[in-house]
A and B are shown apart, each in its own frame.
Chain A
Amino acid sequence: MSTLDGKIPAGPIKDKWTTYKDKVNLVNPANKRNIDVIVVGTGLAGGSAAATLAEQGYNVKAFCYQDSPRRAHSIAAQGGINAAKNYQGDGDSVYRLFYDTVKGGDYRSREANVHRLAEVSTNIIDQCVAQGVPFARDYGGLLDNRSFGGVLVSRTFYAKGQTGQQLLLGAYSAMNRQIARGKIKMYNRHEMLDVVIVDGKARGIIARNLVTGEIERHSAHAVVLGTGGYGNVFYLSTNAMGSNVTAGWKAHKRGAHFANPCYTQIHPTCIPRSGDYQSKLTLMSESLRNDGRIWVPAKKEDAQAIRDGKLKPTEIKEEDRDYYLERRYPAFGNLVPRDVASRAAKERCDEGYGVNATGEAVYLDFAAAIVRYGKEQATIKGENNATESRIRELGKEIVKAKYGNLFDMYKQIVADNPYETPMMIYPAVHYTMGGIWVDYNLMTTIPGCYAIGEANFSDHGANRLGASALMQGLADGYFVLPYTIGDYLSSDIRTGKISTDTKEFEEAEKHVKDRIEGLVNNNGTHSVDYYHRKLGDIMWNKCGMARNEKGLKEAIKEISELRDDFWKNVSVPGGAYELNQELEKAGRVADFLELGELFAKDALERNESCGGHFREEYVEKSGEQKGEALRDDKNYAFVSAWQHTGVPSEALLHKEELQFNDIELKQRSYK
Chain B
Amino acid sequence: MNLNLKVWRQDSPQEKGKMVDYQLGGISEHMSFLEMMDVLNQQLIDNGERPVAFDHDCREGICGSCSMFINGEAHGPVKGTTTCQLHMRSFNDGDTIFIEPFRANAFPVLKDLVIDRSAFDRIQHSGGYISVNTSGNTQDANATPIPKENADLAMDAATCIGCGACVATCKNSSAMLFVGAKISQYALLPQGKVEAKERAQNMVAQMDSEGFGNCTNTGACEVECPKGISLTNIARMNREFLDGSVNS
Nearest chain A CB to B105 CB, angstrom units: 17
Q: Which of B17-25, B143-151, B167-175, B230-238 contacts A (4 or more CB under 8 A)?
A: B143-151
B6 on the A face (CB < 8 A): no
Q: Are A527 and B141 in touch, CB under 8 angstroms? A: no
Could you tell me if A412 and B139 are in contact, using CB atoms closer than 8 angstroms? no
B111 CB contacts on chain A under 8 angstroms: 578-579
- Which residues of chain A have C-beta atoms less than 8 A from B133's C-beta? 55
Q: How far apart sit A66 and B128, CA to CA, in the bound complex (Å)? A: 19
Q: Is A188 within 8 A of B121, CB to CB?
A: yes
Q: With A140-B145, A141-B145, A582-B51 given, is the CB distance from A130 to B59 under 8 Å? A: no
**A521 located at the interface, meaning its Cβ lies under 8 Å from any Cβ of chain B in the complex:** no
Stretch among A131-139, A250-258, A299-307 lining the B interface: A131-139
| Residue B131, interface by CB 8 Å | yes
CB 8 Å contact bits of B109-133 with A (1 = contact, 0 = none) = 0110010111011001110111111
Given contacts A240-B57, A581-B51, whether A180 and B125 have CB atoms under 8 Å apart is yes
| Contact size range, B | 35 or more
A242: Cβ under 8 A from any B Cβ: yes
A159-183: CB near B (< 8 Å → 1, else 0) gives: 1101001100100111011011000
Please, which residue of chain A has its CB at the minimum distance from the CB of B163?
Answer: A71
Interface residue? B92 (CB, 8 A): no
A274 at the binding interface (Cβ < 8 Å): yes
Q: Say whether A179 contacts B62, CB under 8 Å.
A: no
B159 interface residue, CB < 8 Å from A?
A: yes
A166/B158 in contact, CB under 8 A: yes
- Tell whether, in the assembled complex, residue A130 and residue B132 are in contact, meaning their CB atoms are under 8 Å apart: yes
Any B CB within 8 A of the CB of A152 = no
Query: How long is the Cα–Cα vector from A165 to B162 in the complex, in angstroms?
Result: 11
Q: Determine which of A48, A188, A412 lies in contact with B134 in the assembled complex, contact meaning CB atoms within 8 Å.
A: A48
Taken together as a complex, chains A and B put the C-alpha atoms of A165 and B30 apart, in Å, by 27
The answer to whether A275 and B30 have CB atoms under 8 Å apart is yes
Residue tally, chain A, CB below 8 Å to B: 79
A306 to B32, CA, bound (A): 24
* A368 within 8 A of partner (CB): no
B55 contacts which of A67, A128, A174 (Cβ < 8 Å)? Answer: A67
A68: chain B residues within 8 A (beta carbon): 117-118, 120-121, 162
How far is it, in angstroms, between the C-alpha of A66 and the C-alpha of B117 when the chains are bound?
11
Q: Which residues on the A side are within 8 Å of B60 (C-beta)? A: 76, 238, 280, 282-283, 409
Task: Please name 23 pairs of A and B residues whose Cβ atoms are closer than 8 Å in the assembled complex, sorted by A.
Answer: A68-B121, A70-B124, A71-B64, A76-B58, A120-B136, A123-B136, A135-B141, A159-B158, A162-B62, A162-B159, A165-B161, A173-B129, A180-B125, A242-B57, A275-B28, A279-B32, A279-B59, A282-B59, A413-B85, A413-B87, A478-B134, A573-B45, A573-B50
Instruction: Please list the residues of chain B having a beta carbon within 8 angstroms of any beta carbon in chain A.
Output: 11-12, 28, 30-32, 34-35, 38-39, 42, 44-46, 48-51, 53, 55-65, 78, 81, 85, 87, 89, 110-111, 114, 116-118, 120-121, 124-126, 128-142, 145-148, 151-152, 154-155, 158-159, 161-162, 185-186, 189, 191-192
